[in-house]
Structure 1
Amino acid sequence: MDIAERSGDEPTPSQEAENLTKDLPNLTENQMAEVIAKDLLDRENNLYRSGNTLPADHKILFLIGDATSDVTRATDLRADRIYTKESSFPKAPEIPELNASISRYFEKDRQNLPEVLSETADIFYNLAQLRELDPEFRDVYSKWMNYLSSSIGLDLRELFGLAIIKYRRRLIQEGGEKDVLEEEKLLQSFVTEAQSPGRFSVRRPSDDGLKKFYRVVNLLGSRILAGRFTQLGASLSAEEELTG
């Protein structure tokens, strides 16, 4: 649709970007994290879980998955399904999805940067919320988000900003409906060679940065998140023995 054909109420792409990001240049890193961990998590819960929040082990499974490698079938420590939306197809966990997108980035001569940005946004969206849902392990999540940020060569404000833009569009503007191509196109519009004062922007990650990021995020998944899931399971089992 040409801009001239748009209805008066339908925002242009530039207006959409402005509506989603106008406050971001003035937010600190901690304020951005709070938008993700509180405001956007509340909206997610209201849209998908009838207002109920989710336990930390759900967020871990969304990131690393279980033996099924399909979050639509994954079950939590209480043997309950973690996926509450209707789905007619399998869905990979977030870290494997990121792995695949970075592999394609190098195989396809760096043509799928929007996909990589979108999958990266998912990692930081889930980690920021997991840090809120699992306060006992908060310092560890914070440390590893810093490791990830350092490895990819972007600061946490850039990474949290990507997550906020993607999920404000999905959860607020679109009422929970996912449009992968439009989300990727939107994120791509914020990529610049250098950050611009007064406007939210994201620098393009370097090849070396993406390679390091790939390694660090997989260390996080296989060592830290998998280990924490086991700890949470042991704690739940002990509580059940005490109360049973």
Structure 2
Amino acid sequence: MFKSKVLKGLFYIALIAICTYSGSGMQLHAQTPDSLFTAANKLYQQEKYLEALQAYQKIEKQDLESASLYYNMANIYYRSNQVAPAIYYYEKALKLAPNDKDILFNLEFANRTILDNIEPLPRSLWQKFMNDVVLRFTYETWSKIAVSLAFVFAVLFLMYHFSYSTRKKRIYFVTSILSVIFVTTSLFFSYRNKHYVDRNTEAIVFSTEVEVKSAPTNSSDVYFELHEGTKVLILETLDNWKKIRIADGKMGWINAAAIKEI
């Protein structure tokens, strides 16, 4: 059964709205993002899904985002039997909240409705490490962890400097060295995470059925077919064609209009 976060994320939307307000003499719009989000959540609870979706879309058009916003939009699309947009917004929500169990559960549930049965390639040790550790948090989160650890190091260093006890000095020295190591590790994870995200553009197939070809031309041979909801990795762009790879390693060219980047 689907889980709904109709209230979670209101704080984040409100915070963004406050940050984007500029000028004390300027008047606010009739509906601010936080009031829209509240209204949309009420409509969602009343099962007025189409009206709720329209309200969520108004927030999205203001270039504001939150995991809960995308999550609720995905739930509405899924209830409307729109597989591709449902998976698309679950994936967008997951990028902002990689460890959210509700998003992971619903995304896995939605993926079962995809027609394409693709067996993923076995992951290497490095790929497992990337997925299980480096990509466990967003690069912004890793950066915040690094900053927090740097503050801890500063405190430990001061305690080491002003301590008169040899035993305490030894403890502060060791822990400060460890904190430096953790800071460096966190910064490395943040860099690798950002590098991975920038170089790995994913997309969802929105066409009901689309042919993947051997070359970026309509007359080229057809390698295989994909159906709506399938996730692909974009490798290259040429005019209105995208070279893509799917989870089992197969590659080919697809019309750009058939997919939507996450």
Name the TM-score, length of structure 2 as normaliser.
0.25
Higher RCO, 1 vs 2 (CA within 8 Å, ≥6 residues apart): 1
User: Which is higher, the Rg of structure 1 or of structure 2?
Assistant: 2
- Higher helix proportion, which one? 1
- Higher strand proportion, which one? 2
Name the TM-score, length of structure 1 as normaliser.
0.26
